[in-house]
Amino acid sequence: MSVNVMIHRNFRGEAAAALAFYRSVFGGDVTTVTYEDAGHVQDPADAGRVMWGQVAAPGVRPLGPAQWVPLHGMVRDRFGVTWIVEHGAS
């Protein structure tokens, strides 16, 4: 069984560091779009900041059973974000 996870997070000023960290944990490829790439620069100081980014990872580590679902996992990353991944019975 595979589990696909898509999480949307906002990291004010730390998006590039967050994406690099998640890639180091999960592997995969990082894609970023800066404000300049998108043609949406209102302040020249923000041109190189990440407007949107993603880490396309090949998968997650196996999860363990919990009383309420067959698979459950939770971790807190260095940015203080708690990630919970669950997969219920089909």
pLDDT for the residue numbered 3: 59
| pLDDT tens track, the chain, 90 positions | 555 666 778 888 899 999 999 888 878 899 999 999 999 999 999 999 999 998 887 676 557 887 778 888 887 788 887 787 887 755
* pLDDT value, residue 6: 67
Is pTM, for the whole model, over 0.75?
A: no
HEC-encoded secondary structure of the chain: CCCCCCCCCCCCCCHHHHHHHHHHHHCCEEEEEECCCCCCCCCHHHCCCEEEEEEECCCCCCCECCCCCCEEEEEECCCCCEEEEEECCC
- Residue 59 is predicted with a pLDDT of 74
Question: What's the confidence (pLDDT) of residue 44?
Answer: 96
